[in-house]
Amino acid sequence: MTDESRLRELICTLAKSLFDRGLTHGSTGNISARTADGGLLVSPTGSSFGRLDPARLSRFDAAGQHLSGDQPTKEMPLHTAFYDTRSQAGAVVHLHSCHAVAWSLMPDVDEDDFLPPLTPYAVMQLGRVKLLPFFRPGDPAMGEAVRGLAGKRSAVMLANHGPVVAGKDVEAACNAIEELEANARLAVLTCGCRPRLLNKAQVGDIVTHFNVEWDA
C-alpha cells in the first residue's frame, strides 16, 4: 500500500469515527489532508463522513488543480485559506458538532476567545479559538475571514454553523476538533452555574510549558 493509499484510508476511517459518534451528521462536514507531493485529498461535496470512499476523494495537485475523484466540498475556500496562511497545516477538518454550534449562539460569547478555559486540553490543542460571524455555507467570504487572521489561529468557529480546525496532520486535526466540541459541551452544561475557570496564571503556565501557539 502506498503512502497516499494509507492516507486515503486514514481520512475515511477518522471521518467515520466522527460520524458514528454524532460529531457531524447527514452529509455535513468536510475534511482535507496534504499529500506527500504537496497536493490535497478532500472529501467530496454532498458526501457523508459515515460513507466516504477512499477511491472517490477529490485529488488536487500542489498547484490547486483538480486531478481526479469526485467534485470537492463547496467549502474549499475555507480549507485553502488555512493551508495558504499556515505553512505547518497538514490537514483541515470542519464539523457541524452540536455543542460547539449551541455555544456559538450564546449572546455573551467572547469573539476573540470562543472557548472558556475550563480544561487545559483545549488550551493545549487549540490555542485561542476565534468566533467568526455567520456566512452562507460555501460563501468564499469565509475563506477571506480566515485569511484575515494572518495564520494566527489554528481553529475558528463559524457562528450558527460549526468549527474548523487545522492540524499538523489529519489525526492531530481530528483530535483537536474533538477537544473543541468537548470543551463546548462543558461550556453549555455549566452555563449559568458560575463554573471555576482556569485563571490567567494557570493558562499562562500551560501555554509556556507546552509551547502553545497563543495569539494574545
Domain hosting residue 29, numbered range: 3-209
CB 60 within 8 A of CB 39: yes
From CA 53, how far away is CA 63, in angstroms rounded? 24
52: Cβ contacts below 8 Å, ≥ 6 apart: 11, 12, 15, 16, 43, 44
Q: Which of 4, 121, 171, 213 is catalytic?
A: 121
Per-residue pLDDT of the chain (216 residues; tens, 9 = 90+): 799 999 999 999 999 999 999 999 999 999 999 999 999 999 999 999 999 999 999 999 999 999 999 999 999 999 999 999 999 999 999 999 999 999 999 999 999 999 999 999 999 999 999 999 999 999 999 999 999 999 999 999 999 999 999 999 999 999 999 999 999 999 999 999 999 999 999 999 999 999 999 876
From CA 6, how far away is CA 9, in angstroms rounded? 5
* 166 occurs within a structural domain: yes
State yes or no: is 75 an active-site residue: yes
* 214 occurs within a structural domain: no
State yes or no: is 121 an active-site residue: yes
Q: Which of 75, 178, 179, 181 is catalytic?
A: 75
* 60 occurs within a structural domain: yes
Grid cell of 67 as nine digits: 486531478
* 215 occurs within a structural domain: no
Q: What is the CATH number of the domain that holds 202?
A: 3.40.225.10
The answer, as to whether pTM is greater than 0.95, is yes
Q: What are the strands, taking DSSP E only, across the chain?
A: 30-34, 40-42, 58-60, 66-68, 91-94, 130-132, 155-158, 162-167
Domain count for the chain, please give it: 1
From CA 123, how far away is CA 37, in angstroms rounded? 32
Burial 187-215 (b: 16+ CB within 10 A, else e): bbeeeeeeeeebeeeebeebbeeeebeee
* 34 occurs within a structural domain: yes
* 153 occurs within a structural domain: yes
* 216 occurs within a structural domain: no
* 29 occurs within a structural domain: yes
